[in-house]
Amino acid sequence: MKRLFLSILLMQFNSIVFTQNIVDSDVTSIPIEMLFPEGKNKALILSYDDGNIQDRQLVALMNKYKLIGTFHLNSNKLGKTNYLTKEEIKELFIGHEVSVHSANHPNLTTLSKLDVVYEIAEDRKELERLMGYNIRGMAYPFGNNNDVVIDAITGLGIEYARTVDDTYNYKIPLIFLKWHPTIHQFAKAFWEPNNPENDKKELATFYKIINDFNATKELAILDVWGHSWEMGSDKMKWEETEKFFQLITNNSSIHYTKQIDLVDYINAFNNLKFSVEKNLVLNLSSISLFFKYNGKTYNVLPGKSLDF
Ligand SMILES: [Zn+2]
């Protein structure tokens, strides 16, 4: 009886200690969640390929709504019929990102590794000369990529490469050299000509993705991609583009960004040094970083540590 009493007492004591341990480990098991600059939970990427002359109208419309774009250009096409000129791109894309789309827009998966290296390095070099800054992003021509292509571009200074494999979600891509976008602009409505029934369905899909993004309180990236030539000279398609821009502009929970800046932000966040107890963090980057922990938002300044 005495022994039983003692062991019950011991069990209770153990359970108290155990409970105490649970409380401690509960605190450290609460996840640290990344937030975007200024503590925002959403980021928007608008990514357009090919550098056609209609980019002029598109950039003007984006500037009107204070939207930021990422433009993937083929340097050997610049100056040809229907393409932007080399002389104009520096000024045209002020405030936007210019990025690699290969020199000549081939299907990279059909080329030798040497030719893939040429297409990317040449485009990168020429765009850097024209823009006067480091070009570190890319979109695959036709979205086509495979392990050989990815292996070839690794080491060429490309830090993300966008595909055309729409995810219809807002998750942060795990592999930046296989950066799958959320959705093609208008979900490919107008892609096949004279198919108004399809267009209607695709537009409905597109606006559902946009409206769900506007409504979400979760961490979310909306990455819409397309081409200005898809709008061509069709007034109705440009009006649809403006309607889309009106839906996403001027939203205080959205961080509007060049894609490379978002990549830099996420990389810097992933390089934060947290203590085991999650009460101290060191930011070795030059970027002001934000995170959420236990219901609170924190900001750790560039090159600083933070007690929290
Ligand atoms: Zn393209």
Distance 18 CA to ligand 1 centre (A): 60
Topology of 41-264 in CATH?
TIM Barrel (3.20.20)
pLDDT for 72: 98
Ion ligand 1: protein residues whose beta carbon lies under 5 Å: 49-50, 141
Calpha distance 33→275 (Å, rounded): 15
* pLDDT (tens digit per residue) in 230-271: 999 999 999 999 999 999 999 999 999 999 999 999 999 999
How far is CA 28 from each of CA 33, 34, 275, 279, rounded to the nearest angstrom?
Answer: 13, 16, 10, 9
Helix (H) or strand (E) holding 73: strand 69-73
Cα of 105 vs centre of ligand 1, distance in Å, is 6
Q: How many angstroms separate the CA atoms of 10 and 6, rounded? A: 6
> According to the model, what pLDDT value does residue 252 have?
97
Cα 290 to middle of ligand 1, angstroms: 34
The Å distance, Cα 173 to ligand 1 centre, comes to 21
Q: Tell whether the torsion through CA atoms of 142, 69, 172 and 137 is positive or negative.
A: positive
| Cα-to-centroid distance, 281 and ligand 1 (Å) | 42
Q: What pLDDT does residue 117 have?
A: 98
154 CA to middle of ligand 1, Å?
A: 20
**Residue 7 pLDDT:** 43
pLDDT, residue 24, reads 52
- The alpha carbon of 26 and the centre of ligand 1 are apart by a number of angstroms equal to 49
Distance 73 CA to ligand 1 centre (A): 8
Q: In this predicted model, what pLDDT tens digit does every residue of 99-143 receive, in sequence order?
A: 999 999 999 999 999 999 999 999 999 999 999 999 999 999 999
Ligand 1 mean position to 133 CA, how many Å? 22
Give the 3-state secondary structure of residue 205: helix
Ligand 1 geometric centre to CA of 82 (Å): 14
Angle at 98 between CA 92 and CA 101, to 5 degrees: 125
State both tokens at 119.
């297409």
Cα(291) to centroid(ligand 1), Å: 36
Instruction: Tally Cβ neighbours within 10 Å of residue 99.
Output: 28
Q: Can you read off the two tokens belonging to residue 18?
A: 């155990």
Interval between CA 107 and ligand 1 midpoint (Å): 10
Token pair for 92: 């045209």
Task: Return d(Cα 207, Cα 250) in angstroms, integer.
Answer: 17
In which residue ranges of the chain is pLDDT below 50?
A: 1-23
Q: How far is the CA of 302 from the centre of ligand 1 (A)?
A: 37
Q: What is the Cα–Cα distance from 13 to 8, expressed in whole angstroms?
A: 9
CA of 142 from ligand 1 middle (Å) equals 5
In the numeric block, which tokens belong to residue 268?
């810097």
Question: For residue 106, how far is its CA from the centre of ligand 1 (angstroms)?
Answer: 9
Structure-token pair, residue 147:
């392990």
Give the start-to-end residue ranges of the domains of the chain: 41-264, 272-308
Kindly give the distance from the C-alpha atom of residue 239 to the centroid of ligand 1, in angstroms, as a whole number.
Answer: 23
Element of type H or E holding 100: strand 97-100
Q: Please give the distance, rounded to the nearest whole angstrom, from the Cα atom of residue 141 to the centre of ligand 1.
A: 5
* 98 Cα to the center of ligand 1, angstroms: 14
